[in-house]
Amino acid sequence: MVKKVLVAYASKYGSTTEIAERVGEVLREEGLEVDLLPVKQVKDPVPYNAVVLGTAAYMFQWRKDATKFLRKHEEALAKMPVWLFMSGPLNEGDPVAQLEGKIVPNGIKPVVDSIKPVDLAVFHGVVNYDKMNFFEKWVMNKMKASKEDYRDWEGISAWAKAIAGKVKG
């Protein structure tokens, strides 16, 4: 029986969507059935054998639709294998170090602790200035956010392959 994985994501400008798409692509290549959906379109995670949830992070906060999903489905998610990833750090270097230890925001930490994800990965994001308003561009410039794309596609693919290995058992 082919195992079914939900890859859900919460993205503002598309960088997290692209990471979720790569994760879904690798899981399919590894022989899994994958539903790739924006988190707002997910009705119920119960029919899946595993869930991968990705969220963009801004100013050390996860997207509200991702945290809402985790809260709403906490009980069901706690009974299945769940992988979480966040994208956000924008400059070259170790994305975890750039977060200064603030990987899981305090407001959602109890829910994440209850779910006990198999892994929580942090990937670089990328700034799409074309989709930003004036204020967002101003903030990004003040933060000296790089316009370069430092996403590690090989690392993302390797992470997804590891997920596939665990899901397939």
In the chain, where the domains are located: 4-168
Residue 63 has pLDDT above 90, yes or no: yes
Structure tokens at 130: 């074309």
pLDDT tier, 92 (very low <50, low <70, confident <90, very high otherwise): confident
CA distance 90 to 70: 25
pTM comes to 0.88
Structure tokens at 3: 């195992």
**Burial of 116 from C-beta contacts in 10 A (0-12 / 13-18 / 19+):** exposed
Q: What is the DSSP letter of 162?
A: H
- Mean pLDDT confidence for 36-64: 94
pLDDT tens sequence across 13-36: 889 999 999 999 999 999 999 999
Identify which of 162, 169, 166 has the alpha carbon closest to the alpha carbon of residue 23: 162
CA distance 165 to 4: 13
Identify which of 15, 95, 22, 23 has the alpha carbon closest to the alpha carbon of residue 60: 95
DSSP-derived 3-state class of residue 27: helix
pLDDT tier, 129 (very low <50, low <70, confident <90, very high otherwise): low
Residue 145 has pLDDT above 70, yes or no: no
Domain covering 4-168, topology: Rossmann fold (3.40.50)
Output 105 or 91, whichever has higher pLDDT: 105
